[in-house]
Chain A
Amino acid sequence: MLNFILLIIIYIGIYAIAGIGLNLIVGYTGLLSLCQAAFIAIGAYTTAIFMTALHFGFFEAMLLSGLVAAIFGILIGIPTLRLKGDYLAIATLGFGEIVKNIIVNWDSVTKGPMGINGIPGPQAFGITFSAIDKVPWAVLIWAILAFCYYFVRRIVRSRIGRALEAIREDEIAASAMGINTAKYKIGAFTTGAFMAGIAGSLFAAYNQSVAPLTFDFMMSIMILCMAVLGGLGNNFATVVGVIIIVIASEIPRLVGISHIIPPQINQVIFGLILVLMMIYRPQGIIGRVKLNYAKIIKEEILHLEK
């Protein structure tokens, strides 16, 4: 039982890291990205390959995973971020499919559909992380989550965050105010991809194996659902969304009825969440904190007077 709760806590942590990254892209900047799973896959495979074939340490591999995912974020970002919402959604969806296809077909590096097994557990602070003892994992993952949360919170409450929200509300008006929209959009995309890469790396190291079919379109949708359910454009709400969906999808296993419920039910529910939330409560369960411009301007004036 305790093990099960720890497992849920670990998955919440991993998905929350990816979800906060996605929220920065979709919620704050208003770019619909459907390839968060591809960035997670890139992160997971980078970790898997560097730790098994090249014997890197986990933390080096994790940072590298984030960086590789971020580089792919820039690569896909530059050509596609000039696109409007719907086109961007399709292009990112296509990118996700391409990544999955390449992973499945590039046998010599990714071992194809079999995936990579036997990723060693990391060693740090005198502790060996293993599959048996989940407590160090939970602590590590939630520490990273706390860092990511704080990092994104700092971004969105700064000038950068206000620029991102301006782009979301009206891109033309934002660029008329002198915001370099391409730069901010690519920045948001890259940061989101970096965080997905970190999440993927944790995913691979914790499971000690990766398989390409885990990172399909449905995973992107699930993460999107988490952000939508909690409330787009609010990190706290995203974490709440992650908690609800992870618990809801793990409860059948806990109660022991998972073999009765076909896997499609989960996905039907994700679909229903998207449709119903959009029609009845587009701001999510928790909603979005409105910017208090009077306060911001006051602070800026105080800052200038100093």
Chain B
Amino acid sequence: MNLFNLPHTELLQHLINGLTLGAIYSLIALGYTMVYGILKFINFAHGEILMLGAYAGYFLYYFLCEGSQTGGFAIIAFVISLIFAMLISSFLGVIIERIAYRPLRKAPRLAPLLSAIGVSIILMNLAALFFGTKSRKFDYPFDNTALQLGNISVTPNQIMILIVGIILMASLKLFIDKTRLGKAMRATSQNQAVASLMGINVNFIISLTFAIGSALAAVAGIFMSMEFKLYPTMGQMAGLKAFIAAVVGGIGNISGAMLGGILLGLLETFGVVIIGIPQGLKDTIAFSVLIIILLFRPSGLLMKNIREKV
């Protein structure tokens, strides 16, 4: 099957599936890119923050409405659970930064990276220990029968993911570009020492960055457990791919992370249906993209190539 033999409707269908996946990747990638922009290190535990947020939301949702209903009350419960998940994740993100990263801020670059890998493994296995390794499914709070638009079928869940994703990304972009705190974040990412001389509380800004990134990850985690499944290692692969998305867009660049996420979602979807990559090797696409990008445009699509200064 190739691109030109596919009927237009089918192409549109895959486009929508790819965009949904891409929106989820973008939400996760934002967390990586924000932290990298300020601390210049990869928060390896980001995927686990996502996973724990999703579990928090899942448990509250089931506590509130037993998980079997749809309709008015279920939707309210869902919104409450989503916010709760965001809070729990933010809290976790801030705590992890305090305990495992802050003492290493001045250490050689390898140290925080190894520490982050350690945190990621601890959280992943604790989740497996307490919640079990079986995968769960987050039930839809609404009727998820696919809507037929012409020949394309779109589920309400996909529409929700796209809309919420766009709203969150747009408000983050506005927050960073237009508000005082956003300006402080940008200043901190450019030069921490000078930012603190200008009266910016750098530690607070770093905590805020972790909180925002983690909250976005929690939303992505809940979407993932609705669209796919919820299990203790779900954050690992999703986190890796989102990181790749951040690198593709240009790590440290907010718009780049959004673009990279969408691109990666589309590439994965179309890679399977058009190029015919077997489903089992789907994960290979993202890593090949990473290596290609790093070879030809190591600073990403939206960043200027900056030579390293001594």
Q: A79-B295, A282-B107 are in contact. Are A94 and B125 (CB under 8 A)?
A: no
Judged by DSSP, the binding face of B is helix
Q: A87-B247, A101-B283 are in contact. Are A275 and B291 (CB under 8 A)?
A: no
Q: Considering the complex, which residues of chain A in the window 189-204 have a beta carbon less than 8 Å from any beta carbon of chain B? A: none
- Residues of chain A with a CB closer than 8 A to B112's CB: 278
Residues A275 and B115 in contact, CB atoms below 8 Å apart: yes
Cβ of A291 within 8 Å of any chain B Cβ, yes or no, is: no
Closest-CB distance, B191 to chain A (whole angstroms) = 19
- Residues of chain B with a CB closer than 8 A to A223's CB: none
Cβ of A44 within 8 Å of any chain B Cβ, yes or no, is: no
- Residues of chain B with a CB closer than 8 A to A94's CB: 240, 244, 286-287, 290-291
Q: A101-B281, A274-B114 are in contact. Are A91 and B129 (CB under 8 A)?
A: no
- Residues of chain A with a CB closer than 8 A to B42's CB: 86, 89-90
Residues A278 and B287 in contact, CB atoms below 8 Å apart: no
- Residues of chain A with a CB closer than 8 A to B236's CB: 217
Cβ of A82 within 8 Å of any chain B Cβ, yes or no, is: yes
- Option from B104, B128, B284 in Cβ contact (under 8 Å) with A101: B284
Closest-CB distance, B37 to chain A (whole angstroms) = 13
Residues A272 and B284 in contact, CB atoms below 8 Å apart: no
Stretch at the interface among A15-23, A55-63, A154-162, A260-268: A260-268
- Residues of chain A with a CB closer than 8 A to B287's CB: 91, 94-95, 97-98
18 more A-B contacts (CB under 8 A) besides A104-B280, A265-B125?
A79-B291, A82-B294, A82-B295, A83-B294, A87-B247, A95-B287, A105-B280, A218-B121, A232-B110, A264-B126, A271-B117, A271-B120, A271-B125, A273-B118, A275-B115, A278-B112, A279-B115, A282-B108
Residues A271 and B114 in contact, CB atoms below 8 Å apart: no
Cβ of A30 within 8 Å of any chain B Cβ, yes or no, is: yes
- Residues of chain B with a CB closer than 8 A to A218's CB: 121
Provide the A221-232 mask, 1 if CB < 8 A to any CB of B, else 0.
100100010001
Cβ of A80 within 8 Å of any chain B Cβ, yes or no, is: yes
Residues B283 and A97 in contact, CB atoms below 8 Å apart: yes
Residues B280 and A267 in contact, CB atoms below 8 Å apart: no
Complex CA gap A73/B110 in Å reads 21
Residues A274 and B117 in contact, CB atoms below 8 Å apart: yes
Cβ of B197 within 8 Å of any chain A Cβ, yes or no, is: no
Among B42, B110, B124, B244, the most chain A Cβ lie within 10 Å of the Cβ of B110
- Residues of chain B with a CB closer than 8 A to A141's CB: none
- Residues of chain B with a CB closer than 8 A to A97's CB: 237, 240, 283, 287
Cβ of A215 within 8 Å of any chain B Cβ, yes or no, is: no
- Residues of chain A with a CB closer than 8 A to B66's CB: none
- Option from A86, A262, A268, A275 in Cβ contact (under 8 Å) with B100: A275
Closest-CB distance, A224 to chain B (whole angstroms) = 8
Provide the A170-181 mask, 1 if CB < 8 A to any CB of B, else 0.
001100000000
Residues A105 and B114 in contact, CB atoms below 8 Å apart: no
Closest-CB distance, A221 to chain B (whole angstroms) = 6
- Residues of chain B with a CB closer than 8 A to A221's CB: 117, 121
Cβ of B8 within 8 Å of any chain A Cβ, yes or no, is: no
Q: Considering the complex, which residues of chain A in the window 1-59 have a beta carbon less than 8 Å from any beta carbon of chain B? A: 26, 30, 32, 34
- Residues of chain B with a CB closer than 8 A to A217's CB: 236
Q: A79-B291, A97-B287 are in contact. Are A279 and B100 (CB under 8 A)?
A: yes
Residues B125 and A30 in contact, CB atoms below 8 Å apart: no
Complex CA gap A162/B102 in Å reads 32
Closest-CB distance, B95 to chain A (whole angstroms) = 13
Provide the B42-71 mask, 1 if CB < 8 A to any CB of A, else 0.
100000000000000000000000000000
Complex CA gap A92/B154 in Å reads 37
Cβ of B150 within 8 Å of any chain A Cβ, yes or no, is: no
- Residues of chain B with a CB closer than 8 A to A101's CB: 280-281, 283-284
Q: A91-B290, A172-B310, A272-B122 are in contact. Are A282 and B284 (CB under 8 A)?
A: no
Which residue from chain B places its CB closest to the CB of A274 in the assembled complex?
Answer: B118
Cβ of B140 within 8 Å of any chain A Cβ, yes or no, is: no
Interchain residue pairs A-B with the least CB separation, the first 8 = A274-B118, A94-B287, A271-B122, A271-B121, A264-B125, A275-B118, A105-B280, A278-B115
Complex CA gap A275/B119 in Å reads 7
Q: Considering the complex, which residues of chain B in the window 227-272 have a beta carbon less than 8 Å from any beta carbon of chain A? A: 236-237, 240, 243-244, 247
Cβ of B164 within 8 Å of any chain A Cβ, yes or no, is: no
- Option from B129, B243, B290 in Cβ contact (under 8 Å) with A265: B129
Among A83, A273, A278, the most chain B Cβ lie within 10 Å of the Cβ of A278
Cβ of A243 within 8 Å of any chain B Cβ, yes or no, is: no
Complex CA gap A95/B283 in Å reads 11
Cβ of A270 within 8 Å of any chain B Cβ, yes or no, is: yes
Residues A85 and B110 in contact, CB atoms below 8 Å apart: yes
- Option from A82, A90, A102 in Cβ contact (under 8 Å) with B281: A102
Complex CA gap A268/B127 in Å reads 10
Residues A268 and B113 in contact, CB atoms below 8 Å apart: no
Q: Considering the complex, which residues of chain B in the window 83-134 have a beta carbon less than 8 Å from any beta carbon of chain A? A: 100, 103-104, 107-115, 117-126, 128-129
